[in-house]
Amino acid sequence: MNYEIKGGSFPVAVANVPSGQTVRCQRGAMAWMSGNMEMATKGGGIGKMFGKMMTGESIFENLYTAQGGDGFISFSSGVPGVILPIEINADNTIVAQKSSFLACDNSVEMEIFFQKKFGTGVFGGEGFIMQKFVGNGTVLLQAGGSLIDYELAPGEVMIVQTGTLCAMESTVSMDIVSVKGLGNMLAGGEGFFNTKLTGPGKIWLQTMSLGELAGALAPYLPSK
């Protein structure tokens, strides 16, 4: 995918699509496109539709194909933050938080990624089910706030607040660690558990999770 990311707090990715090629996106992600882009909405079978539902995505995806010449299409993020492009290949598969998918080449597939450890699934802040992207091409993810990446060496550990992880290479392992001290748990504002990430591999951390954004906006929303 040949793309350019534009905009500030509410970014948009403008993708150039060669004639006859197809890109996929989450429902409602398209902002504008050239007149020769043809849209088709598909679910991809019962198994894939169920998997999308379990990962927090719409069960349907929109496919856009350039007809009769090169075209372009733009994908806008649904949250204030950034758009993260990642190149996927046989040696580089990515695990991402639920509802992070924005768009991808048609040669990239999304699979369900299950947390193997019960405690990590319950207390890790990411849930039992995450998204795993495989194939060959570009995937565009959306993250809240700003985005910081780290390359973890084998055995290197990073402790992050629950909900901070946006994506990681599949070589990175995830676990939980409890916040030490009852006073720290009750008054520290960080909760009872943090997420433990162990290398090797790259991780992408977001400065504001969707839960934090919702909490920040809640006091200003009208009550029923």
Supply the CATH number for residue 181's domain: 3.60.160.10
In a domain, 38, yes or no: yes
In a domain, 208, yes or no: yes
* Residue 69: domain span: 2-218
In 161-223, alpha helices (H):
182-187, 210-217
What is d(CA 210, CA 173) in angstroms, rounded to the nearest whole number? 23
In a domain, 224, yes or no: no
174's torsion region: left (phi>0), alpha (psi -120 to 50) or beta? beta
In a domain, 118, yes or no: yes
List the structure tokens of 72.
Answer: 């372009």
In a domain, 55, yes or no: yes
- How many domains are there within the chain? 1
CB atoms within 10 A of CB 124: 23
In a domain, 133, yes or no: yes
Closest CA to 205 of 109, 112, 141: 141
In a domain, 223, yes or no: no
- Digit-by-digit pLDDT tens for the chain (224 residues) are 899 999 888 899 999 999 999 999 988 899 999 999 999 998 655 455 555 555 455 567 899 999 999 999 999 987 889 999 999 999 999 999 888 899 999 999 988 877 655 444 444 444 457 899 999 999 999 998 999 999 999 999 999 988 899 999 999 998 888 766 444 444 444 556 788 999 999 999 999 876 666 666 667 667 66
